[in-house]
Amino acid sequence: MVKLRNGGKAGIVMKIGVLALQGAVVEHIRSLELAGAEAVAIKRVEELEGLDGLVVPGGESTTIGKLMRKYGFIEAIREFSAQGKAVFGTCAGLIVLASEIEGQDEAHLELMNMKVQRNAFGRQRESFETDLNVTGINEPIRAVFIRAPLIAEVGEGVEVISTYKDEIVAARQNHLLACSFHPELTDDYRLHAYFVDMAREAAAGRS
């Protein structure tokens, strides 16, 4: 048993991977470490071995999706999730997790039962930041939306945990978490801590 570095909840330190094909990887690693996890960048499927959870970061979803296909990550992450291991997608990562992408025939991981709309708030000119309430987190968090997607519809088993102007911007389905915005771009690591807790619950459920 190793003690948490941030002096938070006692327990085993969760080892969380951040998919490092493209996008904001080091920011997630920093936030996960602040949340008391051990965080590593993942570039090939073999590196998923031994992880308790995985973050699919923000970036360009078309680029990340193509590289995931090329290097066998689609099947590998589906298998990872099937083992009950936690996965968190932010912005592009949310698109990658969805079962359906509006206007596209093909989705990527198809793990979360939801339909997403890309660039839903407009172009970069319309990108913004705002305070947002998230179910399970006490005070509002500062949410940065960059050419962000939104969740147009959720299916069975998906719990909406945050909305902005009546649009769904964060959701959870058992051990899977997704949000439209970028919690990794602020110093507030509470959403990462929430995810690390999910990974810990999932790990307890597996053992």
Site for other proteins (CB under 8 A): which residue of 85, 182, 190, 200?
182
Q: Which two tokens stand for residue 35?
A: 């949340």
Site for other proteins (CB under 8 A): which residue of 185, 191, 193, 198?
185
Query: By CB under 8 A, is residue 126 in contact with other proteins?
Result: yes
Task: Say whether 180 counts as a known binding-site residue.
Answer: no
Residue 129 DSSP symbol: E
Per annotation, catalytic residue among 27, 28, 91, 192: 91
Ramachandran bin of 47, using left for φ above 0, alpha for ψ from -120 to 50, beta for the remaining angles: alpha
Query: By CB under 8 A, is residue 129 in contact with other proteins?
Result: yes
Site for other proteins (CB under 8 A): which residue of 16, 92, 96, 178?
92
Per annotation, catalytic residue among 28, 175, 184, 192: 184
Shortest distance (Å) from residue 61 CB to other proteins: 9
Task: Say whether 49 counts as a known binding-site residue.
Answer: no
Candidates 73, 77, 88, 82; CA nearest to 39 is: 88
Query: By CB under 8 A, is residue 127 in contact with other proteins?
Result: yes
Q: Which two tokens stand for residue 24?
A: 């904001």
Task: Say whether 118 counts as a known binding-site residue.
Answer: yes
How many angstroms from the chain centroid is the CA of residue 73?
16
Candidates 103, 102, 88; CA nearest to 153 is: 102
**Which amino acid belongs to residue 160?**
V
Query: By CB under 8 A, is residue 58 in contact with other proteins?
Result: yes
Nearer to other proteins by C-beta: 17 or 59? 59
Q: Which two tokens stand for residue 185?
A: 């771009």
Task: Say whether 61 counts as a known binding-site residue.
Answer: yes
Which of the residues are catalytic? 91, 182, 184
